[in-house]
Structure 1
Protein backbone atom coordinates (compact mmCIF):
# COMPACT_ATOMS: atom_id res chain seq x y z
CA UNK A 1 0.00 0.00 0.00
CA UNK A 2 1.38 3.42 -1.00
CA UNK A 3 0.78 6.70 0.85
CA UNK A 4 1.13 10.38 0.13
CA UNK A 5 3.73 12.31 2.11
CA UNK A 6 2.49 12.43 5.74
CA UNK A 7 1.15 15.57 7.36
CA UNK A 8 3.24 16.27 10.46
CA UNK A 9 2.44 18.19 13.64
CA UNK A 10 4.81 18.56 16.61
CA UNK A 11 2.87 19.05 19.83
CA UNK A 12 3.98 22.30 21.58
CA UNK A 13 4.35 22.45 25.39
CA UNK A 14 1.10 24.38 25.86
CA UNK A 15 -0.88 21.54 24.25
CA UNK A 16 0.44 18.72 26.45
CA UNK A 17 -2.46 16.62 27.64
CA UNK A 18 -4.68 17.46 24.68
CA UNK A 19 -6.71 14.60 23.19
CA UNK A 20 -5.26 13.43 19.86
CA UNK A 21 -8.65 13.93 18.18
CA UNK A 22 -8.54 17.60 19.20
CA UNK A 23 -5.09 18.01 17.65
CA UNK A 24 -6.29 16.44 14.40
CA UNK A 25 -9.47 18.50 14.14
CA UNK A 26 -8.38 21.84 15.64
CA UNK A 27 -4.73 22.06 14.58
CA UNK A 28 -4.53 20.01 11.39
CA UNK A 29 -8.17 20.92 10.59
CA UNK A 30 -9.10 17.39 9.49
CA UNK A 31 -12.85 17.10 8.89
CA UNK A 32 -14.90 14.38 10.58
CA UNK A 33 -15.52 12.66 7.25
CA UNK A 34 -11.85 12.60 6.32
CA UNK A 35 -10.82 11.56 9.84
CA UNK A 36 -13.14 8.55 9.66
CA UNK A 37 -11.56 7.59 6.36
CA UNK A 38 -7.97 7.97 7.60
CA UNK A 39 -8.66 5.85 10.70
CA UNK A 40 -9.38 2.85 8.48
CA UNK A 41 -5.93 2.80 6.88
CA UNK A 42 -3.13 0.71 8.39
CA UNK A 43 -0.77 3.62 9.18
CA UNK A 44 -3.31 6.43 8.95
CA UNK A 45 -2.65 8.08 12.32
CA UNK A 46 0.59 7.65 14.26
CA UNK A 47 2.25 9.32 17.24
CA UNK A 48 6.03 8.99 17.30
CA UNK A 49 5.77 6.34 14.60
CA UNK A 50 3.26 4.15 16.44
CA UNK A 51 -0.36 3.75 15.34
CA UNK A 52 -2.69 5.21 17.96
CA UNK A 53 -6.36 5.61 18.77
CA UNK A 54 -7.61 9.19 18.57
CA UNK A 55 -8.77 9.31 22.21
CA UNK A 56 -5.26 9.18 23.74
CA UNK A 57 -3.61 12.19 25.36
CA UNK A 58 -0.52 13.63 23.66
CA UNK A 59 2.68 14.89 25.25
CA UNK A 60 4.80 17.94 24.40
CA UNK A 61 7.17 17.12 21.57
CA UNK A 62 5.09 14.23 20.23
CA UNK A 63 5.28 13.85 16.46
CA UNK A 64 1.76 13.40 15.12
CA UNK A 65 1.49 12.13 11.54
CA UNK A 66 -1.46 11.36 9.33
CA UNK A 67 -1.16 9.41 6.10
CA UNK A 68 -3.58 8.96 3.21
CA UNK A 69 -3.50 6.25 0.62
CA UNK A 70 -2.45 7.26 -2.88
CA UNK A 71 -5.33 7.31 -5.37
CA UNK A 72 -5.73 7.31 -9.12
CA UNK A 73 -8.43 8.70 -11.41
CA UNK A 74 -9.09 5.32 -13.00
CA UNK A 75 -12.02 6.61 -15.04
CA UNK A 76 -9.99 9.39 -16.72
CA UNK A 77 -8.01 8.56 -19.84
CA UNK A 78 -4.45 9.97 -19.74
CA UNK A 79 -3.90 12.22 -22.77
CA UNK A 80 -0.94 14.39 -23.68
CA UNK A 81 -2.21 17.96 -23.82
CA UNK A 82 -0.48 21.34 -23.43
CA UNK A 83 -0.69 22.57 -19.83
CA UNK A 84 0.35 26.03 -18.67
CA UNK A 85 1.63 25.22 -15.17
CA UNK A 86 1.93 28.22 -12.84
CA UNK A 87 2.99 26.22 -9.77
CA UNK A 88 3.28 22.64 -8.59
CA UNK A 89 4.31 21.09 -5.28
CA UNK A 90 3.44 17.97 -3.25
CA UNK A 91 0.04 19.42 -2.41
CA UNK A 92 -1.23 21.40 -5.38
CA UNK A 93 -1.11 21.87 -9.13
CA UNK A 94 -1.95 25.41 -10.28
CA UNK A 95 -2.74 25.93 -13.97
CA UNK A 96 -3.53 28.84 -16.25
CA UNK A 97 -6.54 27.37 -18.04
CA UNK A 98 -7.16 28.33 -21.65
CA UNK A 99 -10.62 29.29 -22.86
CA UNK A 100 -12.52 26.61 -24.75
CA UNK A 101 -11.37 23.60 -22.75
CA UNK A 102 -13.57 21.69 -20.29
CA UNK A 103 -12.14 21.01 -16.83
CA UNK A 104 -13.59 17.55 -16.17
CA UNK A 105 -14.90 14.83 -18.51
CA UNK A 106 -18.67 14.86 -18.85
CA UNK A 107 -21.19 12.91 -20.90
CA UNK A 108 -20.08 13.25 -24.49
CA UNK A 109 -16.74 14.85 -23.54
CA UNK A 110 -14.43 12.07 -22.38
CA UNK A 111 -11.18 13.42 -23.84
CA UNK A 112 -9.51 16.78 -24.51
CA UNK A 113 -10.25 18.05 -20.99
CA UNK A 114 -7.97 19.51 -18.34
CA UNK A 115 -8.38 16.27 -16.37
CA UNK A 116 -7.04 14.13 -19.25
CA UNK A 117 -3.97 16.34 -19.57
CA UNK A 118 -3.29 16.49 -15.83
CA UNK A 119 -3.58 12.71 -15.35
CA UNK A 120 -1.09 12.23 -18.20
CA UNK A 121 1.25 14.86 -16.70
CA UNK A 122 1.23 13.09 -13.32
CA UNK A 123 1.66 9.70 -14.95
CA UNK A 124 4.75 10.92 -16.80
CA UNK A 125 6.16 12.36 -13.56
CA UNK A 126 5.62 9.06 -11.74
CA UNK A 127 2.99 10.56 -9.42
CA UNK A 128 -0.20 8.83 -8.32
CA UNK A 129 -2.95 11.35 -7.63
CA UNK A 130 -6.66 11.60 -8.15
CA UNK A 131 -7.90 14.60 -10.17
CA UNK A 132 -9.56 16.97 -7.68
CA UNK A 133 -10.19 20.54 -8.91
CA UNK A 134 -11.01 22.71 -5.90
CA UNK A 135 -13.22 25.13 -7.84
CA UNK A 136 -14.89 25.51 -11.23
CA UNK A 137 -14.31 27.57 -14.33
CA UNK A 138 -16.74 27.61 -17.25
CA UNK A 139 -15.52 26.11 -20.50
CA UNK A 140 -15.11 29.55 -22.11
CA UNK A 141 -13.56 31.20 -19.04
CA UNK A 142 -9.77 31.35 -18.86
CA UNK A 143 -7.56 31.78 -15.82
CA UNK A 144 -6.16 30.31 -12.62
CA UNK A 145 -7.33 26.78 -11.79
CA UNK A 146 -6.26 24.98 -8.59
CA UNK A 147 -6.14 21.17 -8.41
CA UNK A 148 -5.63 19.35 -5.11
CA UNK A 149 -3.35 16.33 -5.02
CA UNK A 150 -4.77 14.78 -1.84
CA UNK A 151 -8.19 14.59 -0.18
CA UNK A 152 -6.81 16.58 2.77
CA UNK A 153 -5.75 19.52 0.58
CA UNK A 154 -9.10 19.46 -1.22
CA UNK A 155 -10.96 19.49 2.11
CA UNK A 156 -8.83 22.32 3.48
CA UNK A 157 -9.40 24.68 0.54
CA UNK A 158 -13.07 23.70 0.27
CA UNK A 159 -13.52 24.70 3.92
CA UNK A 160 -11.86 28.06 3.22
CA UNK A 161 -14.33 28.57 0.37
CA UNK A 162 -17.28 27.81 2.67
CA UNK A 163 -15.92 30.38 5.13
CA UNK A 164 -15.45 32.94 2.28
CA UNK A 165 -11.71 33.02 2.94
CA UNK A 166 -10.62 32.25 -0.62
CA UNK A 167 -9.93 35.33 -2.77
CA UNK A 168 -11.08 34.94 -6.38
CA UNK A 169 -10.60 37.91 -8.70
CA UNK A 170 -11.59 38.20 -12.34
CA UNK A 171 -11.07 40.61 -15.20
CA UNK A 172 -13.93 41.10 -17.64
CA UNK A 173 -14.56 43.23 -20.70
CA UNK A 174 -18.15 44.36 -20.57
CA UNK A 175 -20.57 46.45 -22.59
CA UNK A 176 -21.46 50.04 -21.74
CA UNK A 177 -20.42 53.07 -19.73
CA UNK A 178 -20.48 52.88 -15.93
CA UNK A 179 -22.06 55.66 -13.91
CA UNK A 180 -20.10 54.59 -10.81
CA UNK A 181 -16.49 53.40 -10.80
CA UNK A 182 -17.17 50.68 -8.25
CA UNK A 183 -20.11 48.90 -6.69
CA UNK A 184 -21.73 45.72 -5.40
CA UNK A 185 -24.49 43.55 -6.83
CA UNK A 186 -26.40 41.72 -4.10
CA UNK A 187 -29.12 39.88 -5.99
CA UNK A 188 -30.25 36.24 -5.59
CA UNK A 189 -29.75 33.84 -8.49
CA UNK A 190 -31.54 30.65 -9.53
CA UNK A 191 -32.33 28.60 -12.63
CA UNK A 192 -34.63 30.03 -15.26
CA UNK A 193 -37.74 27.78 -15.03
CA UNK A 194 -38.18 27.99 -18.80
CA UNK A 195 -34.49 27.32 -19.59
CA UNK A 196 -32.92 25.20 -16.80
CA UNK A 197 -29.37 25.67 -18.12
CA UNK A 198 -29.73 29.47 -17.81
CA UNK A 199 -29.54 31.42 -14.53
CA UNK A 200 -31.55 34.53 -13.69
CA UNK A 201 -31.85 37.11 -10.93
CA UNK A 202 -34.97 36.25 -8.96
CA UNK A 203 -36.22 37.12 -5.44
CA UNK A 204 -36.67 33.40 -4.68
CA UNK A 205 -33.10 32.51 -5.68
CA UNK A 206 -29.94 31.78 -3.72
CA UNK A 207 -27.89 34.56 -2.12
CA UNK A 208 -25.27 35.95 -4.52
CA UNK A 209 -22.89 38.88 -3.99
CA UNK A 210 -20.54 40.33 -6.62
CA UNK A 211 -18.19 43.32 -6.22
CA UNK A 212 -16.76 45.24 -9.16
CA UNK A 213 -14.40 48.10 -9.95
CA UNK A 214 -13.85 49.77 -13.31
CA UNK A 215 -10.19 49.47 -14.32
CA UNK A 216 -10.48 51.18 -17.69
CA UNK A 217 -13.47 52.85 -19.36
CA UNK A 218 -13.63 52.86 -23.17
CA UNK A 219 -16.13 54.53 -25.48
CA UNK A 220 -18.60 51.62 -25.58
CA UNK A 221 -17.11 49.14 -23.12
CA UNK A 222 -15.05 48.79 -19.95
CA UNK A 223 -12.42 46.58 -18.38
CA UNK A 224 -13.71 45.62 -14.94
CA UNK A 225 -12.12 43.87 -11.97
CA UNK A 226 -14.58 41.59 -10.21
CA UNK A 227 -14.39 39.63 -6.97
CA UNK A 228 -16.95 37.34 -5.39
CA UNK A 229 -18.39 36.62 -1.97
CA UNK A 230 -20.42 33.67 -3.25
CA UNK A 231 -19.92 31.18 -6.05
CA UNK A 232 -23.19 30.64 -7.89
CA UNK A 233 -23.17 29.15 -11.38
CA UNK A 234 -22.71 31.91 -14.02
CA UNK A 235 -22.80 34.48 -11.19
CA UNK A 236 -20.59 37.13 -12.82
CA UNK A 237 -22.30 36.78 -16.19
CA UNK A 238 -25.79 37.02 -14.66
CA UNK A 239 -24.99 39.93 -12.35
CA UNK A 240 -23.23 42.00 -14.99
CA UNK A 241 -26.16 41.51 -17.36
CA UNK A 242 -28.48 42.56 -14.53
CA UNK A 243 -26.47 45.79 -14.23
CA UNK A 244 -26.92 46.38 -17.95
CA UNK A 245 -23.27 45.55 -18.66
CA UNK A 246 -23.16 42.04 -20.18
CA UNK A 247 -19.79 40.48 -20.90
CA UNK A 248 -18.55 41.00 -24.44
CA UNK A 249 -18.87 37.79 -26.43
CA UNK A 250 -21.41 36.26 -24.05
CA UNK A 251 -24.21 34.95 -26.28
CA UNK A 252 -26.22 33.46 -23.43
CA UNK A 253 -26.42 36.61 -21.30
CA UNK A 254 -26.29 39.38 -23.87
CA UNK A 255 -28.73 42.30 -24.20
CA UNK A 256 -30.66 43.46 -27.31
CA UNK A 257 -29.18 46.96 -27.11
CA UNK A 258 -25.69 45.51 -27.45
CA UNK A 259 -26.55 43.15 -30.30
CA UNK A 260 -28.35 45.94 -32.17
CA UNK A 261 -25.45 48.38 -31.84
CA UNK A 262 -23.37 48.80 -35.01
CA UNK A 263 -20.21 48.32 -32.94
CA UNK A 264 -21.21 44.82 -31.74
CA UNK A 265 -20.55 43.08 -35.06
CA UNK A 266 -16.89 44.10 -34.92
CA UNK A 267 -16.57 42.85 -31.35
CA UNK A 268 -18.29 39.55 -32.10
CA UNK A 269 -15.95 39.04 -35.04
CA UNK A 270 -12.89 39.52 -32.85
CA UNK A 271 -14.02 37.50 -29.83
CA UNK A 272 -15.30 33.93 -29.82
CA UNK A 273 -16.12 33.47 -26.12
CA UNK A 274 -17.24 35.53 -23.15
CA UNK A 275 -14.57 38.04 -22.12
CA UNK A 276 -13.99 36.64 -18.63
CA UNK A 277 -10.62 35.76 -17.10
CA UNK A 278 -9.90 34.46 -13.58
CA UNK A 279 -6.67 36.36 -13.07
CA UNK A 280 -5.99 35.80 -9.35
CA UNK A 281 -6.66 33.09 -6.79
CA UNK A 282 -5.55 33.38 -3.16
CA UNK A 283 -5.89 31.13 -0.10
CA UNK A 284 -3.98 29.73 2.86
CA UNK A 285 -1.77 26.97 1.46
CA UNK A 286 -2.65 23.71 3.31
CA UNK A 287 0.99 22.61 3.28
CA UNK A 288 2.81 25.77 4.38
CA UNK A 289 -0.10 27.38 6.30
CA UNK A 290 0.85 30.66 4.62
CA UNK A 291 -1.25 32.92 2.41
CA UNK A 292 -0.49 32.35 -1.27
CA UNK A 293 -1.60 34.19 -4.41
CA UNK A 294 -1.47 32.80 -7.93
CA UNK A 295 -1.98 34.99 -11.01
CA UNK A 296 -2.49 34.27 -14.69
CA UNK A 297 -1.85 37.10 -17.19
CA UNK A 298 -4.62 38.23 -19.49
CA UNK A 299 -4.63 35.85 -22.50
CA UNK A 300 -3.89 37.13 -25.99
CA UNK A 301 -7.50 37.22 -27.26
CA UNK A 302 -8.58 39.52 -24.41
CA UNK A 303 -5.42 41.61 -24.37
CA UNK A 304 -5.73 42.13 -28.14
CA UNK A 305 -9.35 43.19 -27.74
CA UNK A 306 -8.36 45.57 -24.95
CA UNK A 307 -5.80 47.22 -27.24
CA UNK A 308 -8.37 47.52 -30.02
CA UNK A 309 -10.83 49.14 -27.59
CA UNK A 310 -8.16 51.65 -26.55
CA UNK A 311 -7.36 52.48 -30.18
CA UNK A 312 -11.02 52.97 -31.18
CA UNK A 313 -11.81 55.43 -28.39
Structure 2
Protein backbone atom coordinates (compact mmCIF):
# COMPACT_ATOMS: atom_id res chain seq x y z
CA UNK A 1 0.00 0.00 0.00
CA UNK A 2 1.19 3.53 -0.78
CA UNK A 3 2.85 5.53 1.97
CA UNK A 4 0.38 8.29 2.93
CA UNK A 5 1.55 10.63 5.70
CA UNK A 6 -1.15 12.02 8.00
CA UNK A 7 -0.29 15.56 9.14
CA UNK A 8 -3.39 16.36 11.20
CA UNK A 9 -6.74 14.83 12.04
CA UNK A 10 -9.78 15.69 14.15
CA UNK A 11 -13.52 15.01 13.99
CA UNK A 12 -14.01 17.39 11.04
CA UNK A 13 -10.98 17.16 8.78
CA UNK A 14 -7.95 15.10 7.86
CA UNK A 15 -4.81 16.61 6.35
CA UNK A 16 -2.35 14.33 4.57
CA UNK A 17 0.42 14.16 1.97
CA UNK A 18 -0.70 12.60 -1.31
CA UNK A 19 1.99 10.47 -2.93
CA UNK A 20 2.87 11.34 -6.51
CA UNK A 21 1.17 8.88 -8.85
CA UNK A 22 -1.86 8.30 -6.63
CA UNK A 23 -5.22 9.70 -7.74
CA UNK A 24 -6.91 12.23 -5.42
CA UNK A 25 -10.19 10.33 -5.72
CA UNK A 26 -11.61 7.21 -7.36
CA UNK A 27 -11.02 6.79 -11.08
CA UNK A 28 -11.44 4.08 -13.70
CA UNK A 29 -8.60 1.99 -12.39
CA UNK A 30 -7.98 -0.79 -9.91
CA UNK A 31 -5.14 1.20 -8.35
CA UNK A 32 -5.63 2.57 -4.84
CA UNK A 33 -6.78 6.20 -4.76
CA UNK A 34 -6.40 8.55 -1.79
CA UNK A 35 -10.09 8.69 -0.87
CA UNK A 36 -10.23 4.89 -0.67
CA UNK A 37 -7.00 4.82 1.33
CA UNK A 38 -8.36 7.33 3.83
CA UNK A 39 -11.64 5.43 4.21
CA UNK A 40 -9.68 2.28 4.96
CA UNK A 41 -7.50 4.19 7.39
CA UNK A 42 -10.44 5.67 9.29
CA UNK A 43 -12.25 2.35 9.33
CA UNK A 44 -9.19 0.62 10.68
CA UNK A 45 -8.81 3.21 13.41
CA UNK A 46 -12.55 3.04 14.20
CA UNK A 47 -12.92 6.80 13.99
CA UNK A 48 -16.16 7.08 12.05
CA UNK A 49 -18.06 10.21 13.09
CA UNK A 50 -21.79 10.71 13.65
CA UNK A 51 -22.83 7.37 12.23
CA UNK A 52 -21.53 8.31 8.76
CA UNK A 53 -19.02 5.54 8.51
CA UNK A 54 -15.72 6.44 6.92
CA UNK A 55 -17.07 9.58 5.17
CA UNK A 56 -14.42 11.40 3.13
CA UNK A 57 -15.42 14.59 1.32
CA UNK A 58 -13.29 15.83 -1.60
CA UNK A 59 -12.92 19.63 -1.53
CA UNK A 60 -9.95 20.15 -3.86
CA UNK A 61 -7.70 18.02 -6.09
CA UNK A 62 -4.15 17.49 -7.25
CA UNK A 63 -3.20 16.05 -10.62
CA UNK A 64 -2.30 12.38 -10.33
CA UNK A 65 1.45 12.89 -11.02
CA UNK A 66 1.63 15.68 -8.41
CA UNK A 67 2.27 14.87 -4.77
CA UNK A 68 1.72 17.12 -1.80
CA UNK A 69 -0.42 18.35 1.06
CA UNK A 70 -4.22 18.00 0.83
CA UNK A 71 -7.19 18.41 3.16
CA UNK A 72 -10.30 16.20 3.12
CA UNK A 73 -13.53 16.62 5.08
CA UNK A 74 -14.83 13.98 7.47
CA UNK A 75 -18.40 15.31 7.60
CA UNK A 76 -20.72 16.76 4.93
CA UNK A 77 -20.92 20.05 6.85
CA UNK A 78 -17.14 20.38 6.89
CA UNK A 79 -17.03 19.50 3.18
CA UNK A 80 -19.50 22.27 2.37
CA UNK A 81 -17.51 24.93 4.25
CA UNK A 82 -14.14 23.87 2.86
CA UNK A 83 -15.55 23.74 -0.68
CA UNK A 84 -16.83 27.30 -0.20
CA UNK A 85 -13.35 28.45 0.85
CA UNK A 86 -11.66 26.87 -2.16
CA UNK A 87 -14.29 28.26 -4.55
CA UNK A 88 -13.97 31.75 -3.04
CA UNK A 89 -10.12 31.53 -3.07
CA UNK A 90 -10.02 31.97 0.71
CA UNK A 91 -7.24 29.39 0.84
CA UNK A 92 -3.52 29.69 0.04
CA UNK A 93 -1.84 27.02 -2.08
CA UNK A 94 1.92 26.97 -2.61
CA UNK A 95 3.92 24.69 -4.91
CA UNK A 96 7.54 23.97 -5.68
CA UNK A 97 8.33 23.58 -9.39
CA UNK A 98 11.48 22.38 -11.14
CA UNK A 99 11.77 24.16 -14.50
CA UNK A 100 13.82 23.37 -17.58
CA UNK A 101 13.99 27.00 -18.71
CA UNK A 102 14.16 30.50 -17.29
CA UNK A 103 11.23 32.79 -16.63
CA UNK A 104 11.45 36.44 -17.76
CA UNK A 105 12.04 37.78 -14.22
CA UNK A 106 13.20 36.36 -10.89
CA UNK A 107 9.70 36.96 -9.55
CA UNK A 108 6.41 37.96 -11.06
CA UNK A 109 2.84 37.13 -11.96
CA UNK A 110 1.61 35.05 -14.89
CA UNK A 111 -1.93 35.73 -16.13
CA UNK A 112 -3.48 33.87 -19.05
CA UNK A 113 -6.77 32.54 -20.29
CA UNK A 114 -6.87 28.75 -20.37
CA UNK A 115 -9.16 26.51 -22.38
CA UNK A 116 -9.59 22.82 -21.60
CA UNK A 117 -9.93 20.09 -24.21
CA UNK A 118 -11.83 17.20 -22.64
CA UNK A 119 -10.99 14.83 -25.50
CA UNK A 120 -7.23 15.05 -24.96
CA UNK A 121 -7.33 15.96 -21.25
CA UNK A 122 -5.11 18.97 -21.90
CA UNK A 123 -5.41 22.73 -21.52
CA UNK A 124 -3.92 25.53 -23.59
CA UNK A 125 -3.48 29.29 -23.49
CA UNK A 126 -6.00 31.14 -25.66
CA UNK A 127 -6.46 34.81 -26.59
CA UNK A 128 -10.22 34.82 -26.11
CA UNK A 129 -12.65 32.57 -24.26
CA UNK A 130 -11.47 30.05 -21.72
CA UNK A 131 -11.07 30.92 -18.04
CA UNK A 132 -8.79 33.40 -16.32
CA UNK A 133 -5.72 31.83 -14.69
CA UNK A 134 -3.35 33.63 -12.35
CA UNK A 135 -0.27 32.58 -10.40
CA UNK A 136 2.67 34.25 -8.70
CA UNK A 137 6.18 32.86 -8.80
CA UNK A 138 9.55 33.44 -7.13
CA UNK A 139 12.81 31.88 -8.28
CA UNK A 140 14.68 30.07 -5.48
CA UNK A 141 17.70 28.41 -7.07
CA UNK A 142 19.42 27.25 -10.25
CA UNK A 143 21.36 24.02 -10.59
CA UNK A 144 22.68 21.89 -13.43
CA UNK A 145 20.56 23.42 -16.17
CA UNK A 146 17.32 23.55 -14.21
CA UNK A 147 15.75 26.10 -11.89
CA UNK A 148 13.56 25.85 -8.80
CA UNK A 149 10.58 28.14 -8.30
CA UNK A 150 8.04 28.71 -5.57
CA UNK A 151 4.58 29.15 -7.05
CA UNK A 152 1.49 30.55 -5.35
CA UNK A 153 -1.72 29.57 -7.11
CA UNK A 154 -4.58 32.08 -7.12
CA UNK A 155 -6.91 30.12 -9.39
CA UNK A 156 -7.31 26.37 -9.73
CA UNK A 157 -7.53 25.67 -13.45
CA UNK A 158 -6.90 22.32 -15.12
CA UNK A 159 -3.11 21.70 -15.34
CA UNK A 160 -2.68 25.42 -14.66
CA UNK A 161 0.91 25.60 -13.43
CA UNK A 162 2.11 23.15 -16.05
CA UNK A 163 0.44 25.04 -18.91
CA UNK A 164 1.36 28.55 -17.82
CA UNK A 165 5.01 27.69 -17.15
CA UNK A 166 5.37 25.96 -20.50
CA UNK A 167 3.74 28.93 -22.24
CA UNK A 168 6.19 31.28 -20.50
CA UNK A 169 9.13 29.26 -21.84
CA UNK A 170 10.09 27.41 -18.65
CA UNK A 171 8.16 24.14 -18.57
CA UNK A 172 7.98 21.71 -15.67
CA UNK A 173 10.72 19.09 -15.69
CA UNK A 174 9.29 15.61 -16.32
CA UNK A 175 6.06 16.91 -17.86
CA UNK A 176 5.44 14.69 -20.87
CA UNK A 177 2.24 16.53 -21.83
CA UNK A 178 3.53 20.09 -22.03
CA UNK A 179 7.33 19.93 -21.80
CA UNK A 180 8.43 16.66 -23.39
CA UNK A 181 11.12 18.03 -25.71
CA UNK A 182 13.01 20.03 -23.05
CA UNK A 183 12.72 17.21 -20.50
CA UNK A 184 14.08 14.59 -22.90
CA UNK A 185 16.89 16.92 -23.96
CA UNK A 186 17.96 17.44 -20.32
CA UNK A 187 17.82 13.69 -19.71
CA UNK A 188 19.82 12.83 -22.83
CA UNK A 189 22.59 15.27 -21.93
CA UNK A 190 22.91 13.67 -18.48
CA UNK A 191 22.18 10.08 -19.51
CA UNK A 192 19.14 10.00 -17.26
CA UNK A 193 16.32 7.60 -18.20
CA UNK A 194 13.17 9.56 -19.02
CA UNK A 195 10.48 8.94 -16.43
CA UNK A 196 12.91 7.81 -13.73
CA UNK A 197 12.58 10.97 -11.65
CA UNK A 198 8.90 11.86 -12.00
CA UNK A 199 7.20 15.24 -12.39
CA UNK A 200 8.98 18.27 -10.95
CA UNK A 201 5.93 19.73 -9.23
CA UNK A 202 4.91 19.37 -5.58
CA UNK A 203 2.19 20.97 -3.44
CA UNK A 204 4.28 22.06 -0.45
CA UNK A 205 1.98 24.47 1.37
CA UNK A 206 -1.70 24.80 2.23
CA UNK A 207 -3.50 27.36 4.41
CA UNK A 208 -7.23 27.32 5.14
CA UNK A 209 -9.68 28.07 7.95
CA UNK A 210 -10.90 25.20 10.09
CA UNK A 211 -14.52 24.52 9.03
CA UNK A 212 -15.76 24.32 12.64
CA UNK A 213 -13.58 26.70 14.66
CA UNK A 214 -12.60 29.20 11.97
CA UNK A 215 -8.97 29.12 13.13
CA UNK A 216 -6.37 29.45 10.41
CA UNK A 217 -4.58 26.17 9.66
CA UNK A 218 -1.11 26.21 8.10
CA UNK A 219 0.75 23.18 6.71
CA UNK A 220 4.09 22.97 4.96
CA UNK A 221 5.82 19.81 3.69
CA UNK A 222 8.63 18.64 1.43
CA UNK A 223 8.73 15.49 -0.71
CA UNK A 224 10.93 12.63 0.39
CA UNK A 225 12.04 11.85 -3.15
CA UNK A 226 11.75 13.03 -6.75
CA UNK A 227 12.94 16.11 -8.68
CA UNK A 228 11.82 18.50 -5.90
CA UNK A 229 13.38 16.53 -3.03
CA UNK A 230 15.82 18.12 -0.61
CA UNK A 231 18.71 15.94 -1.83
CA UNK A 232 18.28 17.58 -5.25
CA UNK A 233 17.94 21.09 -3.76
CA UNK A 234 19.76 21.27 -0.40
CA UNK A 235 18.69 24.88 0.12
CA UNK A 236 15.11 23.72 0.68
CA UNK A 237 15.93 22.90 4.30
CA UNK A 238 14.80 26.42 5.23
CA UNK A 239 11.28 25.47 4.16
CA UNK A 240 10.88 23.36 7.28
CA UNK A 241 12.00 26.07 9.67
CA UNK A 242 8.34 26.97 10.15
CA UNK A 243 6.52 24.09 11.81
CA UNK A 244 3.04 23.04 10.79
CA UNK A 245 0.56 25.08 12.75
CA UNK A 246 -2.77 23.27 13.09
CA UNK A 247 -5.39 25.30 14.88
CA UNK A 248 -3.41 28.52 15.17
Show the counterpart of 1:188. Answer: 113
Cα deviations by residue, 1:70-94 (Å, 9 ceiling, x for unpaired): xxxxxxxxxx654210110111111
Show the counterpart of 1:268. Answer: 194
Cα deviations by residue, 1:190-217 (Å, 9 ceiling, x for unpaired): 1248x53111111221111111110112
Match of 2:4 among 64, 68, 83: 83
Match of 1:197 among 99, 121, 141: 121
Cα 1:192–1:124, aligned 2, differ >3 Å: closer, same or farther? closer
Report the secondary structure of 1:231's partner residue: coil
Show the counterpart of 1:220. Answer: 145
Structure 2 runs not aligned, ≥5 long: 235-248
Show the counterpart of 1:103. Answer: 24
| TM-score, scaled to structure 1 | 0.67
Report the secondary structure of 1:266's partner residue: coil
Alpha-carbon distance in 1 for matches of 2:6, 2:116 = 34
Report the secondary structure of 1:196's partner residue: coil
Q: Which has the higher contact order (CA 8 A, sep 6+)?
A: 2
Show the counterpart of 2:35. Answer: 115
Cα 1:255–1:119, aligned 2, differ >3 Å: closer, same or farther? closer
**Aligned-pair distance for 1:113?**
1.4
Q: Point out the structure with max Rg over C-alpha.
A: 1
**For 1:25-36, what aligned pairs fall within 5 Å after superposition?**
none
Aligned residues: 225
**For 1:203-214, what aligned pairs fall within 5 Å after superposition?**
203=127, 204-214=129-139
Cα 1:257–1:98, aligned 2, differ >3 Å: closer, same or farther? closer
**Aligned-pair distance for 1:263?**
3.0
Structure 1 runs not aligned, ≥5 long: 1-79, 308-313
Cα 1:113–1:173, aligned 2, differ >3 Å: closer, same or farther? same
* Superposition RMSD in Å: 2.1
- 2:44 pairs with 1:124: yes
Contact preservation (8 Å) 1:96, 1:143: yes
Show the counterpart of 2:241. Answer: none
